[in-house]
Structure 1
Amino acid sequence: MEVVVRVDRKGRVLIPKHVREVLGIDEGSTLKLRVEEGRIVLEPIGSIASRFYGVFKVERWPEDLDEFIVEAVRSWWRGGT
């Protein structure tokens, strides 16, 4: 699927409704954005990440959210903060 969209003055991009429906993106969904080989890749964060989003205090936003969540859960499980 390919769709052409525009960036507005504030840097926002509207994800068309049919794309949101196909990907299961609703208002409040969390997405991961990365730059890869000169492209912007935007993908929904899986259910594990969604369940833990906002649970742990984050001093610096991680580059790899999935890896961060796994490590945070391991630390929490061992009794860390």
Structure 2
Amino acid sequence: MAVVRLDSKGRLLVPKRLREKVGLREGGLARVEVRGGVLVVEPLRSVADAYYGVFKVESWPEDLDSFLVEAVKELWLRRATST
């Protein structure tokens, strides 16, 4: 547990050990919500992280997240039309 201070813009500084423990990285996205009166911050995995190792490619595109979104769409379309 850590005690943190809210700054004048409403930002919290999450200690490094807690960020590392849950996988929060600079520039990463997180879902923030209130559950039972408690503020919950949940890291969101990128599409690239979620589908790591699923697709074999000859060269990696510059925008891996966009590439994977399109690849997953194509995969689901093929599955839908093959049945």
TM bucket (normalised to shorter chain) is 0.5 to 0.7
Which residue matches 2:47?
Answer: 51
TM-score for the superposition, normalised by structure 1: 0.55
Shift of 1:37: 1.1
d(CA) in 2 for partners of 1:41 and 1:25?
Answer: 13
Aligned pairs, number: 56
Shift of 1:23: 1.4
Larger Rg computed on CA atoms: 2
User: Identical aligned pairs, as a percentage?
Assistant: 43
TM-score for the superposition, normalised by structure 2: 0.54
d(CA) in 2 for partners of 1:4 and 1:29?
Answer: 22
d(CA) in 2 for partners of 1:21 and 1:38?
Answer: 25
Moved more, 18-27 or 8-17: 18-27
Give the RMSD, CA atoms, in angstroms. 2.5
d(CA) in 2 for partners of 1:7 and 1:33?
Answer: 15
Structure 1: 4+ residue segments shifted above 6 A: none
